[in-house]
Amino acid sequence: MKRREQGRQIALQALYQLDLRNEDFGPEMVEFLRSSTDDPEVYFFGRRLTEGAWAWRAEADRFIQEAAEHWRIDRMAPLDRNILRLATYEICQCPDIPPRVAIDQAIELAKRFSAAESGAFVNGVLDRVLRLVKGDEAAKAIQEEGAARPRRRKKEA
């Protein structure tokens, strides 16, 4: 697993804990992130995402709520809600992360850790978030760019 994927994974775990316990980011969360990896790059990326997404969750929730028609954010599965918060934060607040990468990684997190249909749900909501944030034409160009990129094949075991 790549370092940024690992960082997103521990950020998701931290966000999930913060959400369920309704706490502020503090020393306990720093220790959780630190104990989750021995790699400083993974730790710092995970911490950046966790702190940023948690601090920006009210804004992310507004975008998610608008994009997720017929779904209230408080009724979403906590894991899905935090995957969406993380990706929305990346799309809106992390210019060094391409939106298509944020969306693809969120879909992978949903497929790996959540319910069977969560990947499609996350994809649909984040596509709408992207359109809200970037506008229809820019979002379409970003989506087409992602579709035009050749996918890497996974190594056979």
User: Could you report the per-residue pLDDT of 13-40, keeping only the tens digit for each?
Assistant: 999 999 998 877 788 899 999 999 999 9
Three-state secondary-structure class, residue 148:
helix
Residue-range definition of the domain harbouring residue 84? 3-148
For the domain that residue 8 is a member of, what is the CATH number? Answer: 1.10.940.10
Confidence band for 152, pLDDT divided at 50, 70 and 90: low
Position 150 scores a pLDDT of 52
Residue 56 belongs to a domain: yes
What share of the chain has pLDDT > 70, as a percent?
Answer: 89
| Inter-residue contact 24 to 95 (CB < 8 Å) | no
Confidence band for 157, pLDDT divided at 50, 70 and 90: very low
Q: What length is written for the chain?
A: 157
Q: How far, in Å, CA of 75 to CA of 94, rounded?
A: 27
Residue 155 belongs to a domain: no
Domain total of the chain: 1
Mean pLDDT, all residues of the chain: 90
| Inter-residue contact 127 to 134 (CB < 8 Å) | no
Residue 157 belongs to a domain: no
pLDDT tens figures, 51-75: 999 999 999 999 999 999 889 999 9
pLDDT at 138 over 90: no
**Which burial class, exposed, middle or buried, applies to 151 when counting CB atoms under 10 A from its CB (0-12, 13-18, 19+)?**
exposed
List the one residue out of 16, 6, 81, 11 whose CA is nearest residue 49: 11
